[in-house]
Amino acid sequence: MNTKDLEYFLAMVKYKNYTYVAKQFLVSQPAITQAIQRLEREFGARLIEQDRAHHQTTITRAGKLLYKNAQMIQANIALAHREIEQSNRKKIRFGLPPIIGTFYFPQAAAELLKKGYLSQLKITEAGSAKLLSELTDGNIDVALIGSPRPISYDDLEAIHLGERPFNIIVSPENPLAKRQSIGFTELNDVNFIGMNGNFVHPQAFEAFCRHADVKPNIIYSTPDISWLKSIVRANLGIGFLVKDAVNSDDGVVCLAIEDPLPERFNVSVVIRKGYVLTEDEKELIEILSTMNV
């Protein structure tokens, strides 16, 4: 099967016009017709029907089935091109979320530097949700990922490194600062400083609110953890953060969350299922797997 024929077919399904598709690919109209006919012979079914009297082009059921699968074939071919192109380079395309990069990755940095891998990393820094998309699309090959629950996707392989609890953080001036713990049902009328962007926190926060049937009053959202803690310290609202993101110098108080939900800040090393690791990438994953979360 000619992959170009599939490209022409995908365009025909989209535009339903032989002349237009031919112009898009800078080929003759008969070339498009012949490509469709080759596919029809290959699969033994009509894929496209034309009603010349009414100038209508219809995609048959067989055509719709092929279209669905042809999209996946085209995506896999594009992924193969990216992986093979990357295999000729020495850089390791690595995804690192800011929180994990700040609080956990330094544990592995010294060993990576010692073995010469730190300089090989081509780091993409983004939220975990964005990095999962980049990983699936083949734009990065290895990533440290945060997730509210352990990662379980059909097209990804994950090494779970550990999990950490989320806390409510408040200003020392807030009356809640006298508490050791709190339930989300008590926070219905409280002003929250939220996190936005493609991070784990908004997903986990939503799960806790849903469980407690709480509609949070989020007065401000930021992707910057330091800024979030500063606003909370000024007693303008309370926050929701993984416990390890708060230290004694931040000037805020941590309260344990009493709600019995499974959501935690899970940290994993993730690759695409079926991706063939280089020796350097294998060593990188081995070092990352020693991180204590």
CATH of region 166-257: 3.40.190.10
In this structure, which amino acid lies at residue 110?
A
Please name which of 161, 172, 90, 92 lies closest in space to residue 124, comparing C-alpha atoms.
92
Q: Which two tokens stand for residue 181?
A: 């713990």
Q: pLDDT tens-digit profile of 157-185?
A: 999 999 999 999 999 999 999 999 999 99
Q: pLDDT tens-digit profile of 227-252?
A: 999 999 999 999 999 999 999 899 99
Q: Where are the beta strands (DSSP E) in the chain?
A: 48-51, 56-59, 92-96, 121-125, 142-147, 156-164, 166-170, 181-182, 191-195, 217-222, 239-242, 253-257, 265-272
In this structure, which amino acid lies at residue 164?
R
Please name which of 216, 215, 234, 217 lies closest in space to residue 226, comparing C-alpha atoms.
234
pLDDT of 55 > 80? The answer is: no
Q: Looking at per-residue confidence, does 108 or 53 come out higher? A: 108
Burial class, 282, CB count within 10 angstroms (exposed 0-12 / middle 13-18 / buried 19+):
exposed
Residue with tokens 């806790």: 208
Averaged pLDDT, 265-293: 93
Distance from C-alpha of 286 to C-alpha of 293, rounded to nearest angstrom: 15
The model's pTM: 0.68
Distance from C-alpha of 199 to C-alpha of 272, rounded to nearest angstrom: 20
Q: Looking at per-residue confidence, does 231 or 223 come out higher? A: 231
Q: Where are the beta strands (DSSP E) in 42-105?
A: 48-51, 56-59, 92-96
Query: For residue 82, what pLDDT is reported?
Result: 72
In this structure, which amino acid lies at residue 235?
N
Distance from C-alpha of 164 to C-alpha of 292, rounded to nearest angstrom: 11
pLDDT of 86 > 70? The answer is: no
Q: What share of the chain is helix, strand, coil (3-state, %, to 5)?
A: 45, 25, 30
CATH fold label, 92-163+265-288: D-Maltodextrin-Binding Protein; domain 2 (3.40.190)
- The reply to whether 3-87 and 92-163+265-288 are identical in fold is no
CATH of region 3-87: 1.10.10.10
- Cα distances from 43 to residues 54, 66, 98, 112, in angstroms, run 27, 9, 49, 51
Domain segments of the chain as ranges: 3-87, 92-163+265-288, 166-257
- Which residues neighbour 259 within 8 Å (Cβ) at sequence distance 6 or greater? 183, 184, 208, 211, 212
